Amino acid sequence: MKILAVYSIKGGVGKTAAAVNLAYCAAQSGMKTLLWDFDPQAASTFYFRVKPKLNKSMKKAVKGKSDLDAEIKATDFDNLDILPADFSCRNMDLFLDSADKPKKAVRDMFKSISGDYDIAIADAPPGITLLSEGIMSAADVLAVPLIPTTLSLRTCEMLLNFMKDNKIKDVKTALFFSMADRRKKIHRDVMDGAEFEKAKLLENYVPYSADVEKMGLHREPVGAFSPKSKAAVSYGGIWREIVNIL
Amino acid sequence: MKKRIFALKNFSLNALEAFAGFTLRQNITGVMKKVELPDELFPLRDRVECLLRKDSFSLINEDGKTVCRLNLTEIEVCSAGSVFNFSFAELIPLKGYFGEFCIVQAAVEDQGGKETKKLPVIYSVRKAGFRSDAGKGTVEADKTPDAPAADVIRNILIRLINIAEAKEHGVLEDTDPEFLHDFRVALRRSRSAFSMFKGAFPPEEHEYFRQKLSHLFARTSLARDLDVYIKIMGQYRAVLPDSMQDDLEPVEKYLTAMKKKEHEKIVGLINSEEYSLFKNEWRNFLGRAVYGEKGMQRVRDAASEVIKNAYAKIVKDGRKLDNSSPASDIHKVRIGCKKLRYALEFFRPIFPSKQADAVTKKLKTLQDSLGAHQDYEVQREKLLRYTEEAAKGMKDKVNLSLASGYLARYLDELKCSERERCLEMIDSFISDKVRAQIKEMIK
Ligand SMILES: Nc1ncnc2c1ncn2[C@@H]1O[C@H](COP(=O)(O)OP(=O)(O)OP(=O)(O)O)[C@@H](O)[C@H]1O
Ligand SMILES: [Mg+2]
């Protein structure tokens, strides 16, 4: 099972939108896909009309004592299941802190998912936390959405340095622009001038799009209710680039 | 979790929604289309036509989330102007929504839905009253007690050769040993039905075809034996002590290699001109209205005689048995039982079903026990023979012969305990009670 983590230090940059839509693309391509919602706000879970899970199981899960398979729900789409978030996710760092080896604990949680899935896609909460560190070290590919602003670029550099300092190197990092509006000069400038040494910048980007905002109304991935929209097409392009480096 | 299929009567989608508390959404609306009958109904294809329509639904909860999928299948079975209608609900569970699945299932059952493990098409064709000989492997005479015996037997024999033929492709592919088994059973039944009614056909032709059938049957015997034995080897492993687990491997390898060779022979046989010539001759013969001296006898009388004689033979052989009788004597009773069983099966519709079924039931349990007894005997003997064959050319034969010796003793014990049971059951089968039942049946 490959692991794709969608993550950024900054909040509100389109991580959840990307995780949900990439999971949909993966499933459509025929891969057996598990979307794992780590965010206590349970936004991914909401987008698939699934209720947040009732048992607050994360404390046990960190200790390897919870049957995560039993928490998994089928979504309404073929090949796509979700491991819903619950409120206990907000205390993940507390639980991880009391574990001997927090990073290993996160890796083991992924391993405890039975072998049926071709790929697990993690929707991680923002911020630099033990959880995000664990997810980064477990992942095969780390997908990082970037809003095309100078400030975002600086935060991104911070992340790349953090990974280097903490010797998180078995993961390929794929950056892509998110909520990009090429009518804005600043977005154009940043997108056209951006260069990264330590990470790959994907060619496809997610445009700023009303369709993505409407996901909250439809409670479905964009591809399900507007498959020809620019946003759906761009997630498809990003997915294909990611498959190539998985 | 697997999907489940329910046969329905007067089913209402509204009632389902109300009971389950979920909303139905239709995803696909189907159209009535002709469907091919599945393999096991293949022989019915000229008589029966099946139309099918499938609609797909989702059951949706208050969040708009699908919690269970439902396919409704409508089937029309048509034959000679009559139409029979059936409908089915197929419930497909979704991971993580088991509770919801149970509620929907309860709602379907509340409306009288009955779970079935059969495919809807098969279920419908059966319920509509159509039977295909090939599926069961057995053939029954039509309910015509006054028809000439030769005609009825001919009809049975034609259907049996059709069954054998329908199994040919499976025998060639050899994906499942059951094909060869069914093929052989059809041949054995043919031989048995044919031999039982010796007088119904002209003697020369009877002798000619009887030999041909026996010969054909014999040429497939070794392959069948090997199939059985290969399967049994797995069970032997379980019986052997841990330390001996792998010691019979040379025998397994030997058997598999032999089976391959035998299978090739059978492929050659089925593809041979000789075999297709035989089938032609046989069908030609069965298509001609020729009668031996007893051919015009009423089938009911002829069948009664056959059954009476078959039973008398069992009684005669059975009475001779005691605790010291050799296995071959018990085997004689077994052969007699097989004949009686086939006769009872062929002519079941001709006789009152109450007595016929009672006798058949008793006979069946006796046959099971006889079969087990004979199997242990034969297995033991063959184990020793195959071991000897497999050991040829092996340097270190000690472990192999230890393991096979161990098993031989084990089989011996099983045989002895089965033997007692066998003798008791034979005793009870040749009792006055069964004799009276048979008498009542054929009177
Ligand atoms: N490409 C886009 N165009 C327009 N709106 C977007 C786009 N991507 C995301 N949004 C909107 O921006 C908001 C934040 O997006 P999202 O939840 O995906 O970000 P996030 O990084 O997961 O946030 P958080 O850090 O809170 O988890 C949402 O309201 C979403 O609808
Ligand atoms: Mg989010």
E strand segments, chain A: 2-6, 33-37, 73-74, 80-83, 119-123, 141-146, 172-177, 200-201
Question: In the predicted model, what is the mean pLDDT of residues A191-215?
Answer: 94
Tell me how close the Cα of B74 comes to any Cα of chain A, in angstroms.
25
Tally C-beta pairs within 8 A across A and B. Answer: 25
Instruction: State residue B81's pLDDT score.
Output: 67
b/e burial code for range B187-200 (CB count within 10 A of at least 16 → b): bbbbbbbbebbebb
Testing ligand 1's pocket by substitution, the residue of A8, A15, A36 carrying the most ligand atoms inside 8 A of its CB is: A15
Question: In the predicted model, what is the mean pLDDT of residues B339-361?
Answer: 88
Inform me whether the pLDDT recorded for B118 exceeds 80: yes
- CA pair distance B307, B441, nearest whole angstrom: 10
At the top level of CATH, which class does the domain B149-442 belong to?
A: mainly alpha
CA–centroid distance, residue A73 to ligand 2 (Å) = 19
Q: Which residues pair with A174 in a beta bridge?
A: A143, A200
Question: In the predicted model, what is the mean pLDDT of residues A165-185?
Answer: 94
Q: Residue B142 — pLDDT band, cuts 50, 70, 90?
A: low
Any ligand 1 atom below 6 A from CB of A16: yes
Q: What is the pLDDT of residues B58-85, one digit of tens each?
A: 999 999 999 999 999 999 988 766 788 9
Which range has the top average pLDDT, A232-241, B71-80, B327-336, B337-346? Answer: A232-241
Contact (CB, 8 A) for B230 and B255: yes
Question: Which atom number of ligand 1 is nearest to the Cα of residue A126?
Answer: 25
Q: Do B96 and A219 touch (CB under 8 A)?
A: no
What are the residue boundaries of the structural domains of chain B, listed by start? 4-127, 149-442
Identify the CA nearest to B60 among candidates B89, B90, B21. B21
The interface pTM score, or ipTM, of the predicted complex is: 0.88
Inform me whether the pLDDT recorded for A212 exceeds 80: yes
CA–centroid distance, residue A215 to ligand 1 (Å) = 10
Residue A44 CA: which ligand is closest? Answer: 2
Any ligand 1 atom below 6 A from CB of A38: no
Question: In the predicted model, what is the mean pLDDT of residues B229-238?
Answer: 83
**What sign does the dihedral B428-B430-B432-B438 (CA atoms) show?**
positive
Instruction: State residue B133's pLDDT score.
Output: 57
Question: Is B99 within 8 Å of chain A by CB?
Answer: no
Write out chain B residues lying below 8 Å of A80, CB-based.
Answer: none
Write out chain A residues lying below 8 Å of B94, CB-based.
Answer: 73-74
Q: What is the pLDDT of residues A46-83, one digit of tens each?
A: 999 999 887 677 888 888 887 888 899 999 999 999 99
Contact (CB, 8 A) for A194 and A201: yes
∠ at Cα B267 (B265, B270), nearest 5°? Answer: 110
Instruction: State residue B292's pLDDT score.
Output: 92
Instruction: State residue B135's pLDDT score.
Output: 47
Inform me whether the pLDDT recorded for A133 exceeds 60: yes
> Whose CA is closest to atom 13 on ligand 1?
A12
State the CB neighbour count (10 A cutoff) for residue B274.
11
Question: In the predicted model, what is the mean pLDDT of residues B348-377?
Answer: 88
Report phi then psi at B303, rounded to 5.
-65, -40
CA–centroid distance, residue A199 to ligand 2 (Å) = 22
- CA pair distance B67, B72, nearest whole angstrom: 17
Domains of chain A (ranges; CATH) run: 2-245 (3.40.50.300)
Probe site for chain A from B23, B59, B63, B100 (most A CB atoms < 10 A): B63
Q: What is the pLDDT of residues B23-56, one digit of tens each?
A: 999 999 999 999 988 877 877 777 788 999 999 9
Question: In the predicted model, what is the mean pLDDT of residues B350-368?
Answer: 89
**For residue B36, what is the DSSP state?**
P
Which range has the top average pLDDT, A84-98, A188-202, B36-50? Answer: A188-202
Q: Which residues pair with B23 in a beta bridge?
A: B60
Question: In the predicted model, what is the mean pLDDT of residues B211-239?
Answer: 89
Which range has the top average pLDDT, A117-121, B301-305, B337-341? Answer: A117-121
Write out chain A residues lying below 8 Å of B57, CB-based.
Answer: none
Report phi then psi at B70, rounded to 5.
-135, 125
Pairing of strands B33-35, A141-146: unpaired
Q: Residue A111 — pLDDT band, cuts 50, 70, 90?
A: very high
> Whose CA is closest to atom 18 on ligand 1?
A14
Residues within 5 Å of ion ligand 2, judged at the Cβ atom: A 15-16, 39, 43
Inform me whether the pLDDT recorded for B100 exceeds 90: yes
